[in-house]
Amino acid sequence: MKKFLGILVLISTLQTPSQADDIKDFQIEGMSIGDSLLNHLSKEEIITEIKKNKPAYNYLTDKFGEVYIFNDENFKTYKRASFFVKPDDTNYIIYSVRGMLDYIEDIDGCLSKQKEIENEITKILTEFDKRKSNFKSRRDPSGQSTFNQIIFKFKTGDEISISCSNWEESLRKKNNWTEGLSVIVEKKEVIDWIRKPIN
């Protein structure tokens, strides 16, 4: 039976005392790895989103496609969510789910929430590898745009990552970008695909 864990709904309280070491036990806005995206969007909406977002992944194969949901009235915590599904899968099974919440010019607020989520995940998981990294974005020549990331890696190679992005303000405004918290629950299959080196 699937456990609902409140952590990835930005953690107010845990809804179960159980420990969870299966990536499928984690939900973002009620959506989990292994669910069908058709429970939330129509086939036409999914196909449209995959086509719209394909240019961002032109350097990769068509194994996966990304789908976004913005400002869903049923979302309780996040402003938007995204998913990776296989375009040729008629059931559109979810392999990655990400929740996003804006922290515009509030990196301290984002880092505080990131720490809160990190602490809760540490209490729930029994076996994992954890790594932290801070790095500058290659998309900002000034070197002022930064990312803070915490990754929990399961034995299976699946991961949960919690990131805070902080763009240099003029660059963010020029490109109409947002910044803030991103929480991703992701299968190893997607991780291996998306991390393929760019030639």
pLDDT in tens, the chain (199 residues): 443 334 444 443 333 335 567 888 899 998 999 999 999 999 999 999 999 999 989 889 999 999 999 877 888 889 999 999 999 999 999 999 999 999 999 999 999 999 999 998 888 888 889 999 999 988 888 889 999 999 999 999 999 999 999 999 998 988 888 899 999 999 999 999 998 755 5
Q: How far apart are CA 48 and CA 50, in angstroms?
A: 6
Q: Are 150 and 179 in contact (CB under 8 A)?
A: no
pTM above 0.75, yes or no: yes
Q: How far apart are CA 157 and CA 153, in angstroms?
A: 6
Tokens of 194: 């998306």
Tokens of 18: 């159980």
* Segment 34-81, tens digit of pLDDT: 999 999 999 999 999 999 999 989 889 999 999 999 877 888 889 999
Q: Where are the alpha helices (DSSP H) in the chain?
A: 43-53, 107-124, 169-175, 188-194
